[in-house]
Amino acid sequence: MKISHENKSHTNVDTSTNSNLSYQPKTQPVRVGPITLGDGSFSVIAGPCSIESHEQFLQTARWVKQQGAVLLRGGVWKLRTSAHTFQGLGQEAFGFIKEVLNETGMKLITEITDPRQIEILDDHVEMYQVGSRNMHNYALLKELGQSRKPVMLKRGFAAYVDEWIKAAEYICVGGNSQVVLCERGIRTFETVTRNTLDLNSVLYVKQHTPFPVIIDPSHAIGMREFVPQLAYAAAAVGVDGLIVEVHPNPSVALSDARQALTFNDFEILMQKTKKILAATEQPLTKLGYTQ
């Protein structure tokens, strides 16, 4: 698959002379277990940044499902900026992940950080996540091109939209066109928030690629108190869903504590998101909705 979006200059695209900008591919829906991303509905994916323990993962899975999340997130291997911080439970997490999924009926999306992890992950995940730091990892993208599972490709924190789309094509040329794009904020000159959510990119890729598009407000802003507002922006802007971090007790979270929503925060987020979706006439994806 070649995406002919042709953003040649990266900046100041002149819409009056660039006829390629009228190219409007229809979103190709991507089936992920019991739901379909890109079918016109809005899907909420939620869970902890890292899977920390059986209890933490189970409690979070139960809560987010009860509030309306349709897929469960949770990191097994974490790519951390510092080598001295928690790197994820790794192998140990597989001792209880299946139990949590079976008990709650949730399907898992987790980050793959190395092509060698496919063998063990394939049996546990419904969808692979490629993290921001790995968007340019072409060996990983090629490996996922051979997979039959859908892939959520996060935008590199310093990647042009054009590079992001081309990274998606790496997966597609291998034979796997089940790609979902996730905007998670980019690095700009601004430092008061963790990143800067680029809603412009979301509008662009939604119109100029066939991929479903979701937003990650947690990593975009990095501050719990503002995560819900960015989630409402995601609901208002007309994308296919969002992915958000939730923790039973953020004060003891082993990664991304500052941005984790409490259970109560998540409940409020879901209630208000439903109101925004009602205003924009976009249905919330429900488990069983597309079955």
Residues 290 and 71: beta-carbon distance below 8 Å: no
Instruction: Report, in Å, the least distance between residue 162 CB and Mn ion.
Output: 26
Instruction: Return the residues of window 29-58 that contact Mn ion according to CB under 5 A.
Output: 49
Check residue 144 for interaction with ligand PEP (CB under 6 A): no
Angle between helices 199-208 and 161-173 (to 10 degrees): 40
**Residue 206 interacts with, from Mn ion, ligand PEP, none (CB under 5-8 Å by kind):** none
End-to-end CA distance of the chain: 27
Instruction: Return the residues of window 201-220 that contact ligand PEP according to CB under 6 A.
Output: 216, 219
Question: Considering beta carbons, is residue 34 or 75 the nearer one to ligand PEP?
Answer: 75
Q: How many residues bind ligand PEP (CB under 6 A)?
A: 9
Tokens of 199: 């809603």
Instruction: Report, in Å, the least distance between residue 178 CB and ligand PEP.
Output: 19
Question: Considering beta carbons, is residue 226 or 289 the nearer one to Mn ion?
Answer: 226
Binding mask 171-190 for ligand PEP (x = CB under 6 A): -------------x------
Check residue 113 for interaction with ligand PEP (CB under 6 A): no
SS3 label, residue 11: coil
Check residue 256 for interaction with Mn ion (CB under 5 A): yes
Question: Considering beta carbons, is residue 133 or 136 the nearer one to ligand PEP?
Answer: 133
Q: Which residues bind ligand PEP (CB under 6 A)?
A: 49, 75, 131-133, 154, 184, 216, 219
